């Protein structure tokens, strides 16, 4: 601003019209306003979550199963463990497939088939989670004849694969070509090079991708509604209905009981804390691991 004024005094260039200057300031103000309007809900959600949730998190909440309606107390221990169980199943199914597909795309995928897989992964990423729930229902639940942790795991695995595939590919392509050539030059076979050199170098990026996918599905409720279904009791069998934290939050939130509302808030807070800490822990471990290797 001062510079334009200086030039206008030096040269007989007409100063910027008032209308244009006002418009400029108004639009800057509008942009700041949009930022405020977007950040308000963010802080409102986190603040309210902590405010309502923190009081209800106690030892019982973390160690007990739900009490029947009308009795106070009880907790979501089975849902927390159930969520971990379903997510573990999903990771076991989804991570190898996703990483494998990413390796294929990065190392062998410069062709039509690679393009088709890339496009398919992007399409899969946009499929609504509830539709994936339907598919898991019809390929697992209909054959098992009842809801199960496995069906939930399959649904979440399908949701994890595209993210893992695309980030793995991106991370592997970041590894310099010279590194691969050096390995080939030492007579190391290609598969060994890919696994021990390329993938090893890209480990932290690949794991970040996995954690992104993990964090995305950890809070998913819709695909679990008619796959894992939920359960008021402990279950760690693959072929039985299993409680999950997001499901429990949903059921409690739409219930008419204050006690359950309170627990829903506590559950939501626990869910967010678990997601954030899982991601943070793995990233921390990965960073230390790669520094050790380097």
Partner 1 sequence: MALPAPPRPDMPSSQPIETNKVSEIPSAGRRSAHSSWARGETGDKIFQFAMLGCGLAVLGTLALIVYELVLRSGPSWHAFGFKFFAGRDWDPVNEQFGALPFIYGTLVSSLLALIIAVPLAVGVAVFTTEMCPKVLRGPLSFFVELLAAIPSVVYGLWAIFVLVPILSNYVEPFLSRTLGWTGFFTGPSYGISMLAAGIILAIMIIPIISSITREVLMVVPQHQREAALALGATRWEMIRMGVLRNARAGIMGGIILGLGRALGETMAVTMVIGNRPEIAKSLFAPGYTMASVLANEFSEATGDLNLAALIEIGLALFLVTIVVNALARLLVWTVTRGQPARANA
Q: Using CB under 8 A, which residues numbered 70 to 109 contact partner 1?
A: 96-101, 103-105, 107-109
Listing DSSP states for 205-245 in one string gives: HHHHHHHHHHHHHHT--GGGTTTTB--SS----TTS-B--H
Minimum CB distance to partner 1 smaller for 271 or for 286 = 271
Question: Is residue 277 a contact point for partner 1 (CB under 8 A)?
Answer: no
Question: Is residue 54 a contact point for partner 1 (CB under 8 A)?
Answer: no
Interaction residues for partner 1, span 189-248 (CB under 8 A): 189-192, 194-195, 215, 218-222, 225-226, 229, 246
Minimum CB distance to partner 1 smaller for 50 or for 60 = 50
Q: How many chain residues bind partner 1 (CB under 8 A)? A: 96
Backbone CA torsion sign across 146, 149, 152, 158: negative
Task: Judge residue 131's burial from the number of C-beta atoms within 10 Å of its C-beta, 0-12 exposed, 13-18 middle, 19 or more buried.
Answer: exposed
Among 54, 88, 174, 182, indicate the residue that binds partner 1 (CB under 8 A).
174
Are the CB atoms for 265 and 45 separated by under 8 Å?
Answer: no
Stretch that binds partner 1, among 45-53, 54-62, 84-92, 175-183 (CB under 8 A): 45-53
CB of 68 to partner 1, least distance (A): 22
Minimum CB distance to partner 1 smaller for 153 or for 292 = 153
The number of C-alpha atoms within 13 Å of 90 and in the hemisphere containing its C-beta is: 33
Stretch that binds partner 1, among 56-64, 68-76, 84-92, 115-123 (CB under 8 A): 115-123
Task: Judge residue 218's burial from the number of C-beta atoms within 10 Å of its C-beta, 0-12 exposed, 13-18 middle, 19 or more buried.
Answer: buried
CB of 24 to partner 1, least distance (A): 4
Are the CB atoms for 151 and 142 separated by under 8 Å?
Answer: no
- CA dist 200 to 70, 171, 207, Å? 54, 11, 11
Question: Is residue 56 a contact point for partner 1 (CB under 8 A)?
Answer: no
Among 41, 70, 185, 256, indicate the residue that binds partner 1 (CB under 8 A).
41
CB of 28 to partner 1, least distance (A): 6
CB of 96 to partner 1, least distance (A): 7
Question: Is residue 117 a contact point for partner 1 (CB under 8 A)?
Answer: yes
**CA nearest to 162, candidates 237, 197, 213, 228:** 213
């Amino acid at each position: 601003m001062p510079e334009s004024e200086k030039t206008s005094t030096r040269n007989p260039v007409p100063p910027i019209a008032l209308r244009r200057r006002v418009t400029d300031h108004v639009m800057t103000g509008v942009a700041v306003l949009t930022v405020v309007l977007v950040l308000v809900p963010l802080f409102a959600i986190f603040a309210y979550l902590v405010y309502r949730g923190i009081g209800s998190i106690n030892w019982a909440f973390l160690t007990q199963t739900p009490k029947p309606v009308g009795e106070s107390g009880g907790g979501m221990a089975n849902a927390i463990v159930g969520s971990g169980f379903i997510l573990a199943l999903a990771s076991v199914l989804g991570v190898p497939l996703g990483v494998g597909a990413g390796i294929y795309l990065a190392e062998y995928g410069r062709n039509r088939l690679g393009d088709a897989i890339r496009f398919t992964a992007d399409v899969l990423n946009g499929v609504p989670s509830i539709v994936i729930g339907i598919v898991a229902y019809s390929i697992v639940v209909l054959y098992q004849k009842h809801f199960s942790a496995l069906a939930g795991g399959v649904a979440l695995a399908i949701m994890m694969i595209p993210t893992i595939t695309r980030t793995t590919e991106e991370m592997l392509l970041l590894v310099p070509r010279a590194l691969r050539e050096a390995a080939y030059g030492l007579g190391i076979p290609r598969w060994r090079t890919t696994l021990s050199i390329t993938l090893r170098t890209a480990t932290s990026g690949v794991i970040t991708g996995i954690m992104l996918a993990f964090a995305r599905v950890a809070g998913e409720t819709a695909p679990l509604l008619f796959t894992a279904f939920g359960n008021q009791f402990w279950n760690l069998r693959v072929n039985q209905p299993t409680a999950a934290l997001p499901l429990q939050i949903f059921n409690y939130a739409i219930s008419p009981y204050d006690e359950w509302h309170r627990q829903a808030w506590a559950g939501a807070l626990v869910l967010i804390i678990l997601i954030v800490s899982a991601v943070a822990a793995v990233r921390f471990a990965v960073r230390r691991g790669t520094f050790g290797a380097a």
